[in-house]
Amino acid sequence: MHPEEAKKEAKEISDWIIELRRELHRHPELMYEEVKTSALVRRELDNLGIPYKSPIAKTGVLASIGNGNGPCVALRADMDALPIHEETDVEFKSEIDGKMHACGHDCHTAMLLGAAKILKSKESEINGTVKLFFQPAEEGGAGGKLMRDEGALENPKVERIFGLHVWPQMPTGQIGSKKGTFLAATSFLDLTIKGVGGHAAVPHLTRDPVLTSAQIITNLQSVISRELDPLDSGVVSISAIHGGMAANVIPSEVKILGTLRSLTMDGLKGLQRRVKEIAEKIAEAHECEAIVEYPGNDYPPTVNDGDMWNFAKNIGKDMLGEENVNELDAVMGGEDFAYYTEQVKGCFVVLGVQNKEIDAIYSVHHPMFKADEQALHIGTALHTTFALNSLEELKN
Ligand code: NI
């Protein structure tokens, strides 16, 4: 399908895509709680007459279009929201206090439903299978891993996979990505410093976890500045510290949270090892104890196949013009799309949704985050063309 024609067809259903997106936006659900979101996806698939498997990965939906003969290509959308209280003034603002689609996964789900509609209308021409992954729990829950573990990439075997993410750093009408590692390997850090609490007037009778924490936090910064090759990339961020209640009491414990990032899994393991050693040894020097944990899932880096990025780039050029396709640098954000590209060739592409006129300028995960909805049909058109043109290429 010519990318321009896909864009024209997607434009015709743009209002419908936007309506779905707004319905999702009003009712954000956190990881593995996407019950209403999943029901909305199933409702629309039922209306379109598209068969699906559900549940998969707890709250996920796996739909299929095509005749099952020939090659198989997958398109992926994530569905979960974030524990953020929305501060925008949009009329379809989140109706749930403390929860918000601040990463645009509502847009991703609506764009993929748009592609489902167009692909279904062309099903008689599809010789092969297009799988649509509506996955839960991208925000730290590794829903992508669970989809993979429950067989989403098998029967029929997926040969290529594509994912889109809205990107507020880029204006509407543009896309971007890169060959190779695009997004980082990530880990959360949970650090507990245990000492001996007591009256702040007699510090010699205590073992002060506050001072020890300060030393640990300061020293952890030397991992990146002194130990990492200056030409490599890594992040050690301490983002929360909790300890103590009163001015005259030294607490017995301090809790520290943070995140580690690297562009390789080996790099991430290296950071984890050094953070643990430094925290434990500094704590020991102060006669305290450090308990270092990396809770949840360490996401692998998201690595794009070079040919798949070239393929996506050419579609982007035909659809949006050469000047609107950007070669980007790697980003230290993480993505569980990585679990798919560990096993299958694929490409993760970002879609511009920035529009200064409507104040759509804030980054994802910001309470003021807005997406320009005029970009959504472009996402639908990209998904549609990625799938149809891949099947065309793969059959040869
Ligand atoms: Ni996201």
The DSSP secondary structure of 137-171, one letter per residue, reads --SSS-HHHHHHHTTTTTTTTP-EEEEEEEEEEEE
* 31 and 177 assigned to the same domain: yes
Which DSSP string do the residues of 219-278 spell out, in sequence order?
A: HHHHIIIIIS-TTS-EEEEEEEEE--SSTTEE-SEEEEEEEEEESSHHHHHHHHHHHHHH
Mean pLDDT for 77-98 is 98
Looking at residue 360, what DSSP letter applies?
Answer: B
What's the gap in Å between 44 CA and the centre of ligand 1?
A: 22
> What does pLDDT average to over the chain?
97
* 289 and 309 assigned to the same domain: no
Q: Which residues are annotated as a binding site?
A: 103, 105, 139, 165, 365
What's the gap in Å between 50 CA and the centre of ligand 1?
A: 26
Residue 336 has a pLDDT of 96
Residue 394 has a pLDDT of 96
Residue 151 has a pLDDT of 98
Question: Residue 74: which CATH number?
Answer: 3.40.630.10
**Beta pairing class for 302-304 and 180-183:** antiparallel
d(C-alpha 305, C-alpha 302), whole Å: 10
Residue 161 has a pLDDT of 98
C-alpha dihedral (240, 241, 245, 251), degrees to nearest 10? 160
* 200 and 348 assigned to the same domain: no
* 81 and 10 assigned to the same domain: yes
* 285 and 347 assigned to the same domain: no
Residue 43 has a pLDDT of 98
Task: Show which of 262, 293, 324 is a domain's final residue.
Answer: 293
* 159 and 194 assigned to the same domain: no
Residue 84 has a pLDDT of 97
Mean pLDDT for 282-307 is 97
* 152 and 35 assigned to the same domain: yes
Q: What is the pLDDT of residues 37-87, one digit of tens each?
A: 999 999 999 999 999 999 999 999 999 999 999 999 999 999 999 999 999
pTM score, whole prediction: 0.94
Mean pLDDT for 86-110 is 98
What's the gap in Å between 381 CA and the centre of ligand 1?
A: 20
Reduced to 3 states, what is the DSSP secondary structure of residue 303?
strand
What's the gap in Å between 113 CA and the centre of ligand 1?
A: 17
Q: Which residues are annotated as a binding site for Mn(2+)?
A: 103, 105, 139, 165, 365
Sign, Cα dihedral of 174, 133, 336, 191: positive
Task: Show which of 258, 293, 328 is a domain's final residue.
Answer: 293
What's the gap in Å between 198 CA and the centre of ligand 1?
A: 44
* 23 and 169 assigned to the same domain: yes
Query: Which residues on adjacent β-strands are paired with residue 351?
Result: 166, 175
Task: Show which of 250, 274, 293 is a domain's final residue.
Answer: 293
* 54 and 161 assigned to the same domain: yes
Residue 152 has a pLDDT of 98
Indicate if the pLDDT at residue 396 is higher than 90: no
* 164 and 200 assigned to the same domain: no
- Tokens 């609506």 correspond to what residue? 110
d(C-alpha 50, C-alpha 68), whole Å: 13
**What residues have their beta carbon closer than 5 A to ion ligand 1?**
103
Indicate if the pLDDT at residue 176 is higher than 80: yes
What's the gap in Å between 62 CA and the centre of ligand 1?
A: 19
What's the gap in Å between 139 CA and the centre of ligand 1?
A: 7
- pLDDT classification of 164: cutoffs 50, 70, 90: very high
What's the gap in Å between 236 CA and the centre of ligand 1?
A: 21
How many structural domains is the chain composed of? 2
* 171 and 232 assigned to the same domain: no
What's the gap in Å between 254 CA and the centre of ligand 1?
A: 31
* Range(s) of the domain holding residue 201: 185-293
* 360 and 328 assigned to the same domain: yes
Q: What is the pLDDT of residues 301-346, one digit of tens each?
A: 999 999 999 999 999 999 999 999 999 999 999 999 999 999 999 9
Question: Residue 228: which CATH number?
Answer: 3.30.70.360
- pLDDT classification of 210: cutoffs 50, 70, 90: very high
Mean pLDDT for 216-241 is 97
Listing from the earlier edge strand, what are the strands of the sheet with 185-194? Answer: 234-242, 253-262, 185-194, 289-293
Mean pLDDT for 128-149 is 97
What's the gap in Å between 309 CA and the centre of ligand 1?
A: 20
What's the gap in Å between 167 CA and the centre of ligand 1?
A: 9
